[in-house]
Amino acid sequence: MKRYDHVQMGVDYYPEHWDESMWEPDIKLMKETGVKVVRVAEFAWSRLEPTEGNYQFEWLDRALDLFHQYDLQVVMGTPTATPPRWLTTKFPDVLPVFANGEIFHPGVRGHRCYNSTSLREYGSRIILRLAERYSEHPAVIGWQTDNEFGMLDCHCDACNTAFRAWVQAKYGTLAEVNAEWGTVVWSGEYSDWNELTVPLGGSPHQNPSFLLDFQRFQWDSVVAFQTAQINILRMICPEHFITHNFHSYPQRLDMYAVGADLDVAAFDYYPNTSPTKQETTPYSGALSLDVTRGIKRQNFWIMEQLSGSPGCWMPMWRTPYPGLIRAYAWQAIARGADTVVHFRWRSATSGAEQFWHGLIDHSNVPGRRLAEFTQLCHEVNGLSGKLQGTMLKNEVAILHSHEEKAALDIQPQAEGFDYYENIKQIHRAVTKLGMGCDVIDLRQPLDGYKVVIAPNLYLLDEEIVRNLEDFALAGGTLLITNRSGVKNINNIAVMQPLPGQLSYCTGVEVLEYDPIGVETHVIVDAEGNPYECTQWCDILRPVVAQPIAWYGDDFYRGTPAVTVNSFGKGQVYYFGTHAEEQYWSVLLENLAKEKGLLCFAGLPNGVQASVRTGDQGSFLFLLNLSRESVIVPLPREYSSLLDNKIRSGELQLEPYGVEVLEI
Amino acid sequence: MKRYDHVQMGVDYYPEHWDESMWEPDIKLMKETGVKVVRVAEFAWSRLEPTEGNYQFEWLDRALDLFHQYDLQVVMGTPTATPPRWLTTKFPDVLPVFANGEIFHPGVRGHRCYNSTSLREYGSRIILRLAERYSEHPAVIGWQTDNEFGMLDCHCDACNTAFRAWVQAKYGTLAEVNAEWGTVVWSGEYSDWNELTVPLGGSPHQNPSFLLDFQRFQWDSVVAFQTAQINILRMICPEHFITHNFHSYPQRLDMYAVGADLDVAAFDYYPNTSPTKQETTPYSGALSLDVTRGIKRQNFWIMEQLSGSPGCWMPMWRTPYPGLIRAYAWQAIARGADTVVHFRWRSATSGAEQFWHGLIDHSNVPGRRLAEFTQLCHEVNGLSGKLQGTMLKNEVAILHSHEEKAALDIQPQAEGFDYYENIKQIHRAVTKLGMGCDVIDLRQPLDGYKVVIAPNLYLLDEEIVRNLEDFALAGGTLLITNRSGVKNINNIAVMQPLPGQLSYCTGVEVLEYDPIGVETHVIVDAEGNPYECTQWCDILRPVVAQPIAWYGDDFYRGTPAVTVNSFGKGQVYYFGTHAEEQYWSVLLENLAKEKGLLCFAGLPNGVQASVRTGDQGSFLFLLNLSRESVIVPLPREYSSLLDNKIRSGELQLEPYGVEVLEI
Amino acid sequence: MKRYDHVQMGVDYYPEHWDESMWEPDIKLMKETGVKVVRVAEFAWSRLEPTEGNYQFEWLDRALDLFHQYDLQVVMGTPTATPPRWLTTKFPDVLPVFANGEIFHPGVRGHRCYNSTSLREYGSRIILRLAERYSEHPAVIGWQTDNEFGMLDCHCDACNTAFRAWVQAKYGTLAEVNAEWGTVVWSGEYSDWNELTVPLGGSPHQNPSFLLDFQRFQWDSVVAFQTAQINILRMICPEHFITHNFHSYPQRLDMYAVGADLDVAAFDYYPNTSPTKQETTPYSGALSLDVTRGIKRQNFWIMEQLSGSPGCWMPMWRTPYPGLIRAYAWQAIARGADTVVHFRWRSATSGAEQFWHGLIDHSNVPGRRLAEFTQLCHEVNGLSGKLQGTMLKNEVAILHSHEEKAALDIQPQAEGFDYYENIKQIHRAVTKLGMGCDVIDLRQPLDGYKVVIAPNLYLLDEEIVRNLEDFALAGGTLLITNRSGVKNINNIAVMQPLPGQLSYCTGVEVLEYDPIGVETHVIVDAEGNPYECTQWCDILRPVVAQPIAWYGDDFYRGTPAVTVNSFGKGQVYYFGTHAEEQYWSVLLENLAKEKGLLCFAGLPNGVQASVRTGDQGSFLFLLNLSRESVIVPLPREYSSLLDNKIRSGELQLEPYGVEVLEI
């Protein structure tokens, strides 16, 4: 299989958007800029098959030949995210249907029901032909499936039938469905399979077990849709790798199942350019990158990277500050991206995304952003050899789950309670300490980690519990938070004191709880330091655990809020409340000392550190993702990969300054 | 007929939600807790008739036998609020239709068109069978019809036909319809009955006379729907009483007509647990209880009372503070509830209401809340003998009308003007003075009251006017506010100076008016004290009335804002503006002195007083509905019913403290 | 043709709303009040044709005869804005259809698809009969077409077919459509005419070129709809003038094409009565009047003028302050209104607009507002002779375009960027300087102006550019702002540096831009004075222009923000950013001195000056549109037209005071 582990830069290019006379000048300039790879064809169905069966690939042949001539490699997109008008007109079953029966008409993109047989058939046809034509093309190295999978929650007849079959396959009988979903409440019992449908219009507040399974069905539909494409590509193009470009998190998507079929995951990365978001963007971006790396627990691609101000259905964002484009590309690499493809080479002059700016403006006059990108390409190309094959080796992991998120979205727990935001807060505390952190699916093996943080384990089954217990028994430090152990995996409340199946390892019992929501309460640690808490207060009875923080408010003032339990060779923390970030920072810093975790103390706000390690050494990235110049104290001397000079003492990083040090 | 006037406690229990092995332990614990009555079966249709005509009552027999065995009485619910899936699948006409033609699909509850012939037929069938089976069961004492009637504004074909017939019955000819609705405006005249439909999609701002009659039609549909059920129950179970559980006010519902067919009204009472609502919840709750008592002008039941944090479609509320559950149950009794049934025994483990917490948590481990409820049951059982048969005898009434509210909602008068909120403000002023107050339908006889407050009498007919005039002529004090006399009963503006038909008794004429909305203006009383006013300013010409407050703002500064008129042996006040609560407090306190009204001066914030009186004496309830400890000065010695000790001087009430004194 | 240039007052009257016995007293009182003209019949279709073909004109004959008897002139409305129920029941194609397929049902007004053949046919029939019956009636002088044209964006089958034909007529082939709309983006290419539809449900963020053409199609549909009516009226009633009553701006409407077919434009003027809007209402009102005058670049009518508190679907507004009704009528006249018709004589007692108050309240007791109106009528009648034929002659123009607005609405540029609000800000600066200003269509000839301000010329074609260049070349001063020259007229981005085709005359090049949105940045002028700016920052390279202000912020601090370029005999300013009003004020005041523009310095806030000029002289209107008494310094002696006395020195204007001076 062709390699996808080069550390290199790319661009997204749509030859069909431009007069053919512009292609060669464009490609020549890409080459000069330092670009190595180009993504094409993801939305080109109407140009590749203008009418049914009328395949027109010659223009793409010419484009690919030009790329090859200039030594650029190409990733092809399968065009199924934009079914052409002849297809949707002839086969309206391609179009998704909303719960109220309205149709999602064409005109934008993503107008495709994953269960549409017409789409499956016509999509497979064109993918097969594209694969056959380009399997041997010397420029082509891989494929991107569709574009930015997401859920529209289609309610069409095909989905209805497929959902019924899915439920039947899972549960066998209606008696089992009624029992596992608890449909007896509100007389919702099914007496005939015919009565079981996808959610239809009316009140959205339906049975939560049913709603969760409907989400699982939709997730599986996406996976099945992609699998059909992958089967063709693997058969015809065994030398090509396959990826998919995930986008902004959290998505209602089983990214782990979608990723399982891929060779490499990809992410579309658009950090917010606004100075008003400067406090949060570097950290939510870092989380997105760590989430993407966690999809396959390996390095990944950026398939679309910010190149200018985005703008489309929403007003345009601020233009990227000088250095921002470069710094965020380095952030992606620092956190495990190998190839970084910028979206897009030049801004489109037509269509709804005209103002989603590329590296070059509509004027086609290269400007400040292309100059910055050119510098970036040259830097990356210079370091590519050393960085290739390096990876992040982290001692800390945060567990993430699309299922926990789905269940917690179906039934909001308390005002302000947000599963992904809770992860974000903890991840930010970790990142500010310069501590590397993986973000992985809840069901992954935990070998090799010293600390595992598992927020809001709302749904549980025995497999998850055993995995966590085994980790702690073997000496790991496990941190669990409130709203854990509440439900079985079918979204039914357990009939035992919380944290349910985690009571054993945590050594605490939740006597009752108080959903304080957006109110601010206080907890106090053993030294008497107060910290704010919100969202939720479990009133705890430590069975064998030791309290380490106590509530400072309300009728449960003085009772334990956070506990720690010795469990086997390890420890299990339980957070009865949602503590402010500072509490996490202090606790994690102490843990770092206790466990000897790698971290980088004293990072200024907006500055991030991470390390890639491989056969050729370890490389420390120090990135200033802010508009202010900062000083980072270096603990010792390092050699800079950017200019091969020695850095030591107080390292000054300019606004959006980047440093890569050999360690 | 079996009695429904015991002062006692109950719980809501859904045997069908639990494994049968749990029934006896549950019922045994209820018995020990002090519970006397249980409501069952309101949502159990799918379990009672799993498929068409396949009635399965044995499980309910066994449950009822167990209740009887433990000496608990049972109220049965008719199951029509949750038509089962086999019924809605076979007869989709059961389902309501929105104005835009979309269907309210099953999956939650309340998915029933009151005019559906299928629902009427299948509903009657199962109610008949339930009635026949349980008419002689020794545990069963009464019935609850459906659940929490409310209006979905169905627009289905059946409603369309029924509405047309309703209009025809009311007006006879289209000429009369056109005249009484004033359809000539905007060419809305009907030339054929076929053209007359329920409101359909498009602009909602339709003819207000038409919209008001459509509401009346929907109200009548609810009544007719219930009457069909009541007819069966009365025939088969003449010994059983019948109730219905109204819920949070204001409802778009003719509660008075629904209540007329009942033996006793019931209310579902969920006071807000948040400390941020502590200033308002005790008072809006008191109003709800007074409104419920006014439905039949007699004591009532609470059919669902707060037992834990509610949560469902919305985030969970705060957990009830210690004492809150008890105090609010006592508040219900203090204001005329006899039986108080707590919702629910144990939290459901499945379904959309999993987090609408019962007295016992999902864990089934009895905790703090059940302990508090147990104390409450024992207290109530201890006082039950003395309290039975006692009632509230009030000298003050506030007039309320679902029709005024409907008309004022159809045409908002001024920003911030809200009919029910206006009543709430006046009721709060009355309640803070410890003055008992009935809240009754506008058309009720007013004998026995000294003071009647009638806010916003927007729609009027001669009967209403005569009732009010007669009250004042006979010596009563009548308080009328702005936006009175504006319309005839068909929502057509009168062609005379306002307050229209009330000009005679008020002795004022509205020259013009200024809808000041949310702006704050000032009125000044005779002593020169300023008070804020909002919403509305009538510019008044006192014809024979005397001004008692004047505007302090704008071009009508110095003109009268509030007047009083001697009318027969009584007095009629007219409020040209919406004065702040403090103005009402001062005026009512003065009235209390003048008229010798019973009140309880000096109540701290959140503390409420009320008196139940009967053959065995009069009992003063003093309730601290706040989180703070307070002192209530007692005017003399009293004996406490709770511990038979003497109370006098400064009575200390703990947070959510309760006192019941013999007077 | 009968004259429509009398300076006079009128009222809107609906005889069909009132018992016939009230007609003569009403008309007699109108006559006494000083009213000269009455509008009738605009919504009377159901009364004129109660069932199909059953024309009932006798009642209208009697009403018109009465008007004639009292010497009042009448403007008739065509009744097509309210198709009667028999028509919409028999021909549902009359009703508009929303994008999601839902129908706009009758019950309010405006329920008419402009492309409905049934509406065209039945509308033409009744208009023909009305025209025939009243062409010779001595009272009738003219017609108003329909009522307040606006766009509902109908998506019915007729619109679909008509739109397809419209596109075919414009572009000829689908290849051309695909090229001109750039449909290749996202595979949106059409391969068959059948695939081309109006926008249907789903995502609204469709191809912007398609969306702009859909708006053009809807605009053209309105024009064609009106043309059909006008053709009948011109043929049958050649002596009658024709007008249409436009309403609140901005409308999505091609007012210029609608106006082209009219003899005179009319406006429905409802200035906001709230004191909280006192800072803005006088100026947004002034702009509305200037926009209306610009529709045909001649004097106009007010067809509906504020007479009391409006209220309907929204809460009622404040009642008009004493003098407000009079002052705003004078403002209309001061800015070019000849006839001012007040809406409405008396408030309706039924229908959805009951609380849209007329001059007389529901009580039919004449009050303060009718008294003020009577004074106004007498004043206007007194000055009518002098004012007749006078017009505004302005040296400054602001260019306006419904097409620019539509395109900028389709793709929001930056948060807070609003085309019409930007015009409003500039117009307010001009108006506060007492500088007369025309607001005209972008494509109008510019002869006679000294200064032309052209904000946000987003779409351009050569004709527009040549018009502007010619103006500047000939010595005019042209002010152009950012987001100009971005697109061709089909909403496709140009491939040249901005401001695109305006680069030549402005002498600047936009290197890149920063959409700062609602953030506040700073610009500094040559004297070092700072001014705030928002929305947008073009980073400019002056090619031949001279900078006159510079950015004070961000990475482009110190670079030019505003430039001026000598171009032929004139000058062209370019504003790279959206400067605060004060910057415009200073710049315009300097320009006024430089160019010798007429203005009126030192106007207090809320006071407006304007001049009407004709054969009989020039008349200066000074209007205090505020609730405060103010002093206006007069530069010399003037004679007042209101009392023929001399005014000089410090002129005191009472709240809502009016002065008309001979100059």
Q: At what angle do helices C419-432 and C581-595 cross, to 10 degrees?
A: 50
The verdict on B350 touching A (C-beta cutoff 8 Å) is: yes
Minimal-distance CA residue of chain C relative to B98: C102
The structure tokens listed for B471 are 């009250």
Bridge partners, A574 (sequence order): A480, A563
Strand partners for A348 = none
Residues of A in contact with B107 (CB under 8 A): 188, 199-200, 202-203, 206-207, 210
Based on the fold, state whether residues C438 and C585 are members of the same structural domain.
Answer: yes
Same domain, C539 and C658: no
> Higher model confidence: residue B95 or residue A151?
B95
- pLDDT given for residue A602 in this prediction: 87
Other C-beta atoms closer than 10 Å to the C-beta of C21 total 7
Tell me the per-residue pLDDT of B356-410, one tens digit each, with 9 for 90 and over: 999 999 999 999 999 999 999 999 999 999 999 999 999 999 999 999 999 999 9
Is the bond into B250 cis (omega within 30 degrees of 0)?
yes
Indicate whether A435 belongs to any domain: yes
Q: Are C508 and C564 in contact (CB under 8 A)?
A: no
Host H or E run for residue C10: strand C8-12
A5 with A299: CB under 8 angstroms?
yes
3-state secondary structure of C281: helix
- Band (pLDDT 50/70/90 cuts) for residue B313 is confident
- Please name the residues in contact with A149: beta carbons below 8 A apart, sequence gap of 6 or more: A222, A226, A244, A246, A251, A253, A258
Is the domain of A467 the same as that of A352? Answer: no
Q: What is the pLDDT of residue C601?
A: 82
**Is C144 part of any domain?**
yes
Of C201, C235, C269, the last residue of a domain is C235
Instruction: Give domain status of residue C245, yes or no.
Output: no
Task: Confirm if A327 and A319 have CB atoms less than 8 A apart.
Answer: no
Nearest to A104 by CA among C164, C184, C204: C204
**3-state SS assignment for residue C637:** coil
CA distance B538 to B551: 10
The distance of A318 to chain C (nearest Cα, Å) reads 5
Q: Is residue C250 part of a domain?
A: no
B304 is catalytic: yes
Mean pLDDT of successive 10-residue stretches along chain C, which has 663 residues? 96 98 98 98 97 98 98 98 98 96 95 97 98 98 97 94 98 98 98 97 92 98 98 98 97 97 98 96 98 98 98 94 98 98 98 97 98 98 97 98 98 97 98 97 97 98 98 98 98 98 98 98 98 98 98 98 98 98 98 95 94 95 97 95 95 98 94
* Tokens (6 digits) for B351: 């379904």
Assign C511 to helix, strand or coil: strand
Do C188 and C156 contact (CB within 8 A), yes or no?
A: no
Given CB atoms, is B421 within the 8 Å cutoff of chain C?
A: no
CA A178, CA C544: separation in Å to the nearest integer? 79
Range of C414's domain?
Answer: 396-595
Cα–Cα distances (Å) from A249 to A149, A152, A253, A336, A423, in that order, read: 12, 16, 10, 17, 12
As to burial, measured by CB atoms within 10 angstroms (0-12 exposed, 13-18 middle, 19+ buried), residue B297 is middle
- Which of B199, B206, B492 comes nearest C349 by C-beta? B492
Nearest-CB residue to C497 (from A44, A318, A365): A365
State the pLDDT at residue A217.
Answer: 98
Handedness of CA A44, A50, A52, A56 (dihedral sign): negative
- DSSP string of A230-259, one letter each residue: HHHHHHH-TTSEEEEEE-SSSPSS-HHHHH
A51 reaches C (C-beta below 8 A): yes
Helix (H, G, I), strand (E, B) or coil at B49: coil
* B343 plus B448 within the same structural domain: no
pLDDT of residue C151: 85
The reported pLDDT for the residue numbered A498 is 98
Token pair of C172, please? 């000829």
Q: Which residue has the higher pLDDT, B152 or B447?
A: B447
Amino acid at residue number B53: G
User: Out of A49, A304, A353, A395, which one is annotated catalytic?
Assistant: A304
pLDDT at position A616 is 87
- Say if the Cβ atoms of C319 and B515 lie within 8 Å: yes
Report the pLDDT value the prediction gives residue A289, as an integer from 0 to 100: 98
Instruction: Say if the Cβ atoms of B515 and C318 lie within 8 Å.
Output: yes
**In chain B, count of helices (H) and strands (E)?**
17, 27
Q: Is A180 left (phi over 0), alpha (psi -120 to 50) or beta?
A: alpha
Q: Is residue A208 part of a domain?
A: no
Band of pLDDT at residue B602, cut at 50, 70 and 90: confident
Distances (CA, A) of A398 to A287, A443, A452, B574, C242: 10, 12, 6, 67, 74
Tell me whether A321 touches chain C (CB under 8 Å).
yes
Whether residues B319 and A199 touch (CB distance < 8 A) is answered with no
Q: State the pLDDT confidence band at A204, using cuts at 50, 70 and 90.
A: confident
Q: What is the mean pLDDT of residues A3-23?
A: 98
In the B/C pair of chains, how many CB contacts fall below 8 A? 172
Where b means 16+ CB within 10 Å and e means fewer, A256-277 reads bbbbebbbbbbbbbbbbbeeee
Within a domain: A264: yes
- Sequence-ordered list of residues with C-beta below 8 angstroms from that of C377, at least 6 positions apart, any chain: C9, C33, C34, C35
pLDDT of residue B178: 98
Q: What pLDDT was estimated at residue C257?
A: 98
Asked if C184 and A83 come within 8 Å (Cβ–Cβ), the reply is no
Average pLDDT of every residue of chain B = 97
Q: How far apart are CA A577 and CA A13, in angstroms?
A: 48
Query: Based on the domain organization, do C589 and C499 belong to the same domain?
Result: yes
Q: Residue A199: is the preceding peptide bond cis (ω within 30°)?
A: no
The reply to whether residue B555 touches residue C106, judged by beta carbons under 8 angstroms, is no
- Residue C263's alpha-carbon distances to B310, C146, C613, in angstroms, are 66, 15, 21
Determine contact: B514 vs chain C, CB below 8 A.
Answer: yes
The verdict on C524 and C652 lying in the same domain is no
Distance from CA of C188 to the nearest CA of B (A): 30
Residues A566 and A444 in one domain: yes
ipTM: 0.96
Share of chain B above pLDDT 90, in %: 98
Written as six digits, the tokens of B503 are: 């000009």
Together in a domain, C658 and C519: no
Residue C485 has a CB neighbour count (10 Å cut-off) of 24
Residue B514: its pLDDT value, please? 98
| Interchain proximity B349–A495, CB inside 8 Å | yes
> Is residue A313 pLDDT above 90, yes or no?
no
Assign residue A300 the CATH number of its domain: 3.20.20.80
- Can you tell me which residue has the tokens 């980690």? A449
Burial group, residue A368, by CB count within 10 angstroms (0-12, 13-18, 19+): middle
What CATH number is associated with residue A636? 2.60.40.1180
> Is residue A552 domain-shared with residue A404, that is, in the same domain?
yes
Per-residue pLDDT tens over the stretch B320-349:
999 999 999 999 999 999 999 999 999 999
What's residue C202's pLDDT? 87
Closest CA to B623 of B600, B643, B646, B597: B600
Catalytic residue among A42, A49, A148, A469: A148
Residue ending a domain, among C204, C235, C266, is C235
Report whether C545 contacts C453 (CB < 8 A). no
Give pLDDT, residue C602. Answer: 87
- pLDDT-based confidence at B202, cuts 50/70/90? confident
Q: What SS3 state is found at B596?
A: coil
pLDDT at B166: 98
| Total domain count, chain B | 3
What is the C-alpha to C-alpha distance for residues A128 and A121, in angstroms, rounded to an integer?
11
Residue A172 pLDDT level (bands cut at 50, 70, 90) = very high
Chains meeting B at 3+ CB pairs closer than 8 A? Answer: A, C
Q: Measuring CA to CA, which residue among C477, C478, C495, C473 is closest to residue C486?
A: C495
CA distance B366 to B314: 25
Residues 290-309 of C with CB under 8 A from B: 309
Q: What is the mean pLDDT of residues B159-165?
A: 98
Mean pLDDT of A649-661: 97
Side chain identity at A284, as an amino acid letter?
Answer: S
Q: Which of A595, A626, A644 is at the close of a domain? A: A595
B628 is catalytic: no
Residues B278 and B236 in one domain: yes
d(CA C485, CA C479): 14
Give me the numbers of helices (H) and strands (E) for chain A, helices first please. Answer: 17, 27
Q: Any chain C CB within 8 A of the CB of A371?
A: no
The pLDDT of residue A287 is above 90: yes
Q: How many CB atoms lie within 10 A of CB B265?
A: 26
Burial zone of A336 (CB within 10 Å; 0-12 exposed, 13-18 middle, 19+ buried): buried
CB neighbours of residue C331 within 10 Å: 23
Residue C500 lies in a domain: yes
CA distance A458 to A483: 5
B45 touches chain A (CB under 8 A): yes
Which residue among the candidates C42, C49, C180, C304 is catalytic per the annotation? Answer: C304
C-alpha C333 chain-centroid distance: 15
| Tokens 């194609």 belong to residue | C93
Q: What is the mean pLDDT of chain A?
A: 97
Chain B: closest CA distance from residue C133 (Å)? 20
| Residues A295-310 pLDDT 10s | 999 999 999 999 999 9
Tell me the three-class secondary structure of B106-154, residue by residue.
Answer: CCCCCCCCCCCHHHHHHHHHHHHHHHHHHCCCCCEEEEECCCCCCCCCC
3-class state of residue A168 by DSSP:
helix
Interface test with A, best of C103, C187, C192, C498 (most A CBs within 10 A): C187
Quick one: C545 and C590 in the same domain? yes
Q: Are C33 and C377 in contact (CB under 8 A)?
A: yes
Write out the E strands in A351-507.
Answer: 396-400, 437-441, 451-454, 459-460, 477-481, 487-488
Distance from CA of B562 to the nearest CA of C (A): 20
**Chain A neighbors of B80, CB-CB under 8 A:** none
Question: Could you give the angle at the alpha carbon of A434 between the alpha carbons of A428 and A437, nearest 5°?
Answer: 65
Condensed to tens digits (0 to 9), the pLDDT of residues A480-490 reads 999 999 999 99
Cα separation of C136 and C236, whole Å?
10
CATH code, B485? 3.40.50.880
Q: Does residue B315 sit within a domain?
A: yes
Residues A400 and A375 in one domain: no
Query: Which chain B residues are within 8 Å of A415, Cβ to Cβ?
Result: 315
Cα of A490 to nearest chain B Cα, Å = 10
A38 touches chain B (CB under 8 A): no
DSSP letters of A182-213?
A: TTTGGG---SSGGG--S--SS-S---HHHHHH
Other beta carbons within 10 angstroms of residue C636's beta carbon come to 8
